[in-house]
Structure 1
Amino acid sequence: MSYFSFLRENARWLSASYLLAVFSGFGQTFFISLSGGDIRAEFGLSHGELGLLYMLATLGSALTLPYVGKSLDHFPVRWIAAVVMSGLALFCLAMAGAFSVWMVAFAFYGLRLCGQGMMTHTSVTAAGRWFSARRGRAVSIAMLGFPTAEALFPICFVLLNNTFGWRGAWTVSALVLVMVAMPVLLTLLARDRVPNAAEVASAKPEGRQWTRAEVLRDPRFWLASLGVNAPAFIGTAIFFHQVYLVELRGWTLELFASSFLFMASGVVCASLIIGPLIDRFSARQLLPFTLVPLTVACLVLAGFHAPLSAFIFMSLVGISNGFNGTLVGALWPEVYGTRHMGAVRAVAFSLMVFASAAGPGLIGWLIDLGIAFDLQVIAMGLYCLGFCLVLALTSRAYHSASLS
C-alpha cells in the first residue's frame, strides 16, 4: 500500500492521532516556557526557583501518569480524549487566573499531566494499536502533530501575549480547546478502528505479550529509556530557559521563536523518512542511531553563538525529535506487544515526563550556581554520544531475544 493510499483509507483515525498531538502543545514546555519571564517578574522568582517549581509539578504528573495512563487499556479512546481535553482547558484557565506561586505550580502540574502526558500518550498509543502492519507510518503521521504545534504555538503565544498579556493568552488557549479541538476530535473518534483481516495477516508476529510488571523487570527497558529520554531532558531544559539563552546570546525572543519553524521542518522530514524505514527494518534495529542528531545539535549550540546557530541547532533538534519520537512510538509495541500497551506506555511516558521535569530544575540550579551554560550543553552532548553505544548494545539484546 502506498503512502497516499494509506492516508486516504485511514484519514479519520490518522487525523485524530495527529490532532491529539497538535493540541498537546498547550501542555508542552515550548509553549508554557514563554510565560516564564512574566511569571518570574510577577511572583519574584529566580531562574532556579521557577525551574524547581516546574520540575516538581512535572514530577507530580510523571508519578500520576502510570495510574491514569492505563485507562487506555479499559476505555474507548473517545472517552479518554474528552476527559483529557476538558482537563487541559481547565488548567489553562487556572494558569490565566493564578494569584500565587502555589497556584502556578498547580497549573503546571495539570498542564503537564493532561497536555504533555495524556494527550501525547493517547495519540501515540492509539496509532500504535490501530495499525499493526503499518505501525511505523501511522506513528510517524501522528508525530507530525508535534512540529505543527511547535511551528505555530510559540508565535501565536507571542502575538497573543503582546495583545492581551500572558493571562489573556492562556484564556484564549482554553477557548480554543473547548470550541475547536473538542468538537473536531470527538467527531473523528466517534468510531474506533479495528484492523481488517488482510492487515492482521500481513502484520509481523508480535510474539510474547508482556505485562507492565514484566517490562519493569527487564533491564533492556531501563537502558533503552535512559537513552531515548535524553531528548526530553535536553530539549525541555533548553526550551524552558530559552529567555536566559536569548539574553546570554544577545538574540531576541522573536528570533528564537521563529527558529521553531526550522525545528518543525526537521521533525516533519525525519518523521516521514523514519516511518517507512521502521516498517521495512524494525524500530529496534534503528535504535542506535536515534541520538546522533541531538549530539551534533548540542555541539553546535555550545560552540557557535551567532544567530544562525539558533536555526541550525533547532533544525537538528527537530530531526532528533522526529526520529526519536516515531521510533519510540513503534519500539515498545514491537518488543513488548500491544495487549497491555496502555499500561506499558504509561510507564514509558512517565519516565519521559520525569526526564523533562529534571531538566529545567537541574539547569536552573546550575545557572544560579554560575556554571557556564556552554559547559552544561557540552556535557549533554557527551551523554548522548555515550548512549549511542549503549543503545547499540541494547538493540543487539532485543534482536537476540526475538530470534530465540
Structure 2
Amino acid sequence: MRVLVAEDDLVSERLLTHLLIKWGHEVIVARSGREAWEAFERDEDIQLVISDWMMPELDGIEFVRRVRAAARPGYVYFILLTAKTQREDLLTGMEAGADDFITKPFDAAELRVRLGAGERIVRLEHALAEQNRRMRRDLEAAAAIQRSLLPPAPPEVAGYRFAWRFLPCDLVAGDILCVHRLDESTMALYVLDVSGHGVPAAMLSVALSRALEPMPVRDGLVKRWTSEPPHYLIAEPREVLGELNQRFPMASQGNLYHTGIYATLDLASRRITMSRSGHPLPLLIRGGCGEFLAVDGGLPAGMYPEMDYGQTTCQLQSGDRLYLYSDGLTEAMDARGEMFGEEQLAAAMTEFAGQPLEETLSEVLRRVHAMTGEEGLSDDVTLLALEVL
C-alpha cells in the first residue's frame, strides 16, 4: 500500500519509514504540513496517511481537513500521530476527519495493528467502489434498453401532432409511455407508472411495455388474432387494462402495482376512447381553457384480480390538445414541500397553448425544474401530448 508519512521529527520519520518498508509498504516522506499536502495533491495513488499533529507551516488538523475536502477517487485512511491524550483533542481530530490516532512515542506492534485496520477499510472501500462501478454499468445498460422501448420519434400522422417527454429520477424508471399505430385508422397511446423506484419498478415497466406490443397474436392484449380478415381485433382500452390487471398481480410482482391510462384514437372520426387504472386524469386544452376529463376506469392494476374497468369516449376537435402524464409531474415539490399540482399544470398548458407542442412541453418542464430547484425530481416524470390539427 502507498503510504504518505508527514513527520518533522527526523528520528520518528526514519523509524516509521523503516517499519513501513519492512512491512511491505511503499513510503512517501514529507517533513512539513505544506510538503505533505503538495505530495498528496501530486499523487492520487496514496491510500493511507500517517501525519504528526504538530508540524510547521500546516498542522495535522488542517492537513486532514484538506484531505477530506479533496475531490479524488477512493478513500484515504488517515492516522494522526500525537502526544495529546485529552478527550477534547481526540474529538477535534476526529471531527476534522482523522480515522485513528497513535500516541507518541509509538509502539511498533500497536502501529502495525492499526495499519492493518486501515488497510482492511481501504481494501473494502475499493471493493465496494468497484462493485458500484459494475452496478452502474449494468444500470446504464438497463436504462438504454428501457429507452429503446420508447418511440424513437413522434409518429407523423396526417391531421395530428404528437410529442412526449420522459424524465427518470434515477438511471432507470418505473414510468413507461408509447404512442403507435394499431392499424391504418387507429392509434394507441398510453402512460404507465409502476409503484416504487429503482430496478424492480423498471423491470416491471419493461414487462408491461412488452405486453402492450401491437402484434396480432392469440393471447395479445392489444390486438388479438382471428381467422377472419383482417385477422385481428383491436381490444377496447378497458379490456387492455383488465388484462394487465390479471397478468401482473402484486403477489407475483414483488408487491408492486401500477397505474396507467390507455387510449385508442380513431383517426377519421377524431374519437378517443380512454380507460384509467388509478392514474391521474388527462388534461384537455380547448379554446384557451383547461379541463381534466373524468375518464372512467378502476383501481391501480395488480391489486384486485376481479377489477372491472370502465372507459370513456370523447369527441376531439381541431385545435384540441390532450395531455397524459404521470403523477411525478403534478407531485413535484419545492423546498417547502408544496406540489406543482393540477392547477399549475392546467394554467401552464393554457398559457403556452399558442406555442408549438414540443415547445409547450419544454416550457412546462422548465417551470417544474425551476420550482424543484436543487432538490430535483423525486419521482419519474412522463408527459405524452396529442394535438388535433
TM-score (norm 2): 0.26
Structure of greater Rg: 2
Judging by fraction of residues, say which structure has more helix: 1
Using CA pairs below 8 Å that are at least 6 residues apart, which structure has the higher relative contact order?
A: 1
